[in-house]
Structure 1
Amino acid sequence: MTLPLMPKATAVWLIDKTALTFDQIAEFCGMHPLEVQAIADGEVAQGIMGYDPVANSQVTAQDIERCEADPNARLRIMASSNPNPKKARGGRYTPVAKRNDRPDAIAFLIRNYPQLSELQLSKLLGTTKETIQKVRERSHWNSANIKPRDPVILGLCKQSDLNDAIAQANERLTREGRAVPPPPPPMPETDAA
């Protein structure tokens, strides 16, 4: 069940401004009836300003009046007209401890998935095209120490994101009429013993 914004403040307002029962207020706000009673007695939520659910389009005045007339009726929260927030597009944050692993991941993807574009690599790993180019040309400042390692194992991207990027790159090659490279051979399993 969807709860109102700021449930305790909403409960304070409903207690002060309406004749609803504690059970009705408790169910609407997602609280226990004893907690609502404690708010009404002044034992809980002292100093909390009431939040008007009518003025904030969470419930209608008619719905409150209907519930005041019938103690068995329940308030219904109105559907929000606000759009769901979209996920922000932007650079992916990589923790400081993992930033030195990026060139290894870039080298792995360039070697095993040459069909991935620089844009896909930069989005996938949260890096710049300049860094990708330097790893590709072996002009990176640390190129002597770069060892190709799987970015999923390094924790730089999710396997599902990598699979999606590879699928998109393969579709692009198919549309352009170019051959899709075969998948890389499976990695050899190492014994921990």
Structure 2
Amino acid sequence: MADKPLMPKATAVWLIDNTGLTFEQIADFCGLHTLEVKGIADGDVASGVRGIDPITQHQLTREEIEKAEADEDYRMKLSKPKTIVAPPKKKAPRYTPLSRRQERPNAIAWIVRHHPEVPDAQIVKLLGTTKTTIQAIRNKTHWNSSNLEPQDPVALGLCSQFDLDMAVSKAAEKRAAMQEAGRLSEGDSLAPAAETERGEEEAPEAPEAAPDIDKIFANFSDKDEEDS
């Protein structure tokens, strides 16, 4: 989206919580609908998204915010020179020091507890783990389940705050889209990806019923009586 912040909903969350801007000003800057911004303020939209400070991200200046707060008709402008993003480079496989690998199950447990809507595939990319391990922690069948202590993966150094926010934001947007389509009720959580994929597979065909032997022989007996 041209001339808009990189993470519009996360930016809107921060602006709502930390400024006196109107919904219209925030909507215009973030490229969102005014009702969508109001929904974020009411907690109905993007409830799992953490706010991102556009000032520290060099997308907006404090002077620009103050100018908009003083004039409701003013529309803020993105700090273009500081938000030029280079083409993404292919990431090399993440190397996790041996001393931190043992903390990975605790990080998985933290995400599963605080953000159950994040699909397993996203956690795999985020922490460099496996779906089998994630499912074992979700189902409490992990070999060390009784000793796990959920800990923030960012604090453990297993991923960046930006990558975690991106994963949560994507899951929240998917949840909102499913709610709008009527495929998810308020309060429900997204099913793990494995369950969703199984649900989309065709149901196996029912086995054919075994032939009725007595009925077959009865037909042969009736035919013999007619021939005689």
TM bucket, shorter chain: 0.3 to 0.5
Q: TM-score of the superposition, structure 2-length normalised?
A: 0.40
Q: TM-score of the superposition, structure 1-length normalised?
A: 0.47
Structure showing greater Rg: 1
